[in-house]
Amino acid sequence: MTTPTLDLDVDGPAAPPRSNGELVFAEPWQGRAFGLTMALVDRGAISYDAFRERLIARIASWERTHPDGKDFSYYRCWLEALEDELDEHDLVGAAELTARSAEFAVRPAGHDHGHEHPHEHPGESGQNGEHAHGHH
C-alpha cells in the first residue's frame, strides 16, 4: 500500500517559507502547527484543499489590513486557518482553543522540557551531558 503524498505549494500565497528548498520554522510552535495540520490531513480529519483555501483567505485578510506588509507571520495565518478548520469540523471549539491557548501562554519557556537527556541547549556548555546552569 502506498501512502499518498501531499504537494505543498512552492509559489503563491499558500507556499510555506523555505530556505534551499527546505521548510523553515522560526519558532518551535510553527513546526508543531505544521505537523499537527499534516497529521490531521493524513488521518482524513480535515481536507488539505479546504485548509489551503482558509490559509489563502487568512493571508489575504491580513494583507488587506496591513498594506505595508510589516510584521507578517505566515505561520500565524497558518495557525488561524487551522483553528478555523478545527472549529468548523467540531474537533476543537473556538472557546476551548482560547482557553487552552491562555493556559499555555502563562507557562514558562521550557516548562515541558526536562534535562534528563544527552544534548546541550543553545548557550550552554558542559561536558558529559552536564549543563552550564547546573542541571542534569
**For residue 35, what pLDDT is reported?**
92
C-alpha 40/C-alpha 50 separation (Å) is 12
How far is it, in rounded angstroms, from Cα 58 to Cα 26? 20
Confidence at residue 134, expressed as pLDDT on a 0 to 100 scale: 43
Mean pLDDT (whole number) for 37-59: 94
User: How much of the chain exceeds pLDDT 90, in percent?
Assistant: 40
Over residues 49-62, mean pLDDT = 95
Q: Reduced to 3 states, what is the DSSP secondary structure of residue 82?
A: helix
| Average model confidence (pLDDT) across the chain | 78
Q: What was the pLDDT predicted at 34?
A: 93
Distance, in Å, from the CA atom of 14 to the CA atom of 56, rounded to the nearest integer, reads 6
- Over residues 1-10, the pLDDT tens digits come to 444 556 777 7
**Given the DSSP bridges, would you call strands 22-23 and 18-19 parallel, antiparallel or unpaired?**
antiparallel
Task: Kindly report, residue by residue over 62-85, the tens digit of the pLDDT.
Answer: 999 988 878 889 999 999 999 999
Task: Provide the whole-model pTM.
Answer: 0.66
Over residues 87-132, the pLDDT tens digits come to 888 887 677 766 766 676 676 766 665 656 565 655 555 444 444 4
pLDDT for the residue 44? 93
Per the model's pLDDT, the better-predicted residue between 106 and 33 turns out to be 33
